[in-house]
Structure 1
């Protein structure tokens, strides 16, 4: 009986070890989709009835045929740590920086930074852009300003302008959602966050600019 058990163990070892040690090879001729990463707030990661895989970030990647990796948390911003206890820069450091460089990085937000001065917001944004550039010098980076699907409060414009200045100084494209007119039915009953249709509209808008 012991001899039989010994032989069974040897057979299992022969079958299992090569499967664990053999390198994974790409499928010949299969194209590798570009990778796009996002850092953002609840608009980017999803909120309410809209999960992460249906957020505008995921939908933008699907429209372009790219692979999305989404980082961030609701309530966060360039200065605002929110309940997650981290800014966009910290989200970049702990969720993205250890990964291989993507083809595109989208930094989206500012909605939650209205309690800070435009100077503070601009400095925080410039610091994040400098860190990204130093870490991933070959990655294309774009910034999206605060997303307001309805009428924005006056302080939101100061944040928007500060981020536009930071993007210009960092020589990265800046996309301004506050200049757009969004369709009816784009906002949830909370008056802030997008419905699924709202996320679809944002995704179509962003994909057209990234394409």
Structure 2
């Protein structure tokens, strides 16, 4: 009893500085415990969640379907790790785990802008790492914007070779190919021929083609409200619109069904 009274006396008579020290110690202990648990979970899942690896782990892979996204700055988002970009919005909406392999200014043949080369590389060069790292129930390929200045004779074989490798790596996943477009309803030169060739090829690898121009994603909207000052990259409003339009296109083509099993992914 005397010992209890002594402890109460000590607590009542601590100085403000001592209270601050106690609170700080407790906070550090709690934070350290949480960090350790997160690191342990990441290690068990066999992947890192550091920003440099462009991974967004939402929920454990054994409890939700996994979406894997390949692309460029549109897919990576303005911060380079997918936060706030349309893939993340789609995954949250559908309840999917979200993994992103995307680097700005890259493409199927483009290694990135000169100032970034050495830290960025084309899609095919990054693929082996993603194959080793990720499982996938649905795969999205949204690249090629930075290759549109190249001739179809150069570009299309590179696309086919890449998608062939993606299909081989994830043979049972739903595969979605998004026609490379910017935030505009106006098709680029050669768009129709490109899409026709992509549709024909997609049938050979059991892939679904989504064409934002044909699906009128950007018709009757204020285009300036959808991009940053550069007029190219989607801002928060633009990413929200892209996510909404993509979900609608996927539903129309029978790729997803709201409320269905397996996170709504239709097999």
2:132 is paired with a residue whose SS is coil
- Counterpart in 2 of 1:16? none
Moved over 6 A (4+): none
Q: Which structure 1 residue ranges, 5 or more long, are not aligned?
A: 1-19, 25-30
- Counterpart in 1 of 2:97? 67
1:107 is paired with a residue whose SS is strand
- Please report the TM-score for the alignment, with normalisation by the length of structure 2: 0.61
Which one of 75, 83, 93 corresponds to residue 128 of structure 2?
93
Which one of 176, 190, 209 corresponds to residue 174 of structure 1?
209
Which one of 26, 45, 49 corresponds to residue 76 of structure 2?
45
Aligned equivalents of 1:162, 1:78: Cα separation in 2: 16
Q: Deviation per CA, 1:163-210: give whole Å up to 9, x if none.
A: 444324433100011222422111222121111111001111222314
Q: Deviation per CA, 1:127-164: give whole Å up to 9, x if none.
A: 11211222221122111111321245425666555544
Q: Deviation per CA, 1:36-55: give whole Å up to 9, x if none.
A: 0000000000127x962100
Aligned equivalents of 1:191, 1:155: Cα separation in 2: 22
Of structures 1 and 2, the larger Rg is shown by 2
> RMSD of the alignment, in Å?
2.4
Where do residues 137-148 of structure 1 align in structure 2 (5 Å cutoff)? 137-148=171-182
Q: Which structure 2 residue ranges, 5 or more long, are not aligned?
A: 1-39, 45-61, 257-267
- Counterpart in 1 of 2:228? 188
Aligned length: 181
Structure of greater relative contact order (alpha carbons < 8 Å, 6+ residues apart): 1
Aligned equivalents of 1:161, 1:80: Cα separation in 2: 23
- Counterpart in 1 of 2:166? 132
- Please report the TM-score for the alignment, with normalisation by the length of structure 1: 0.76
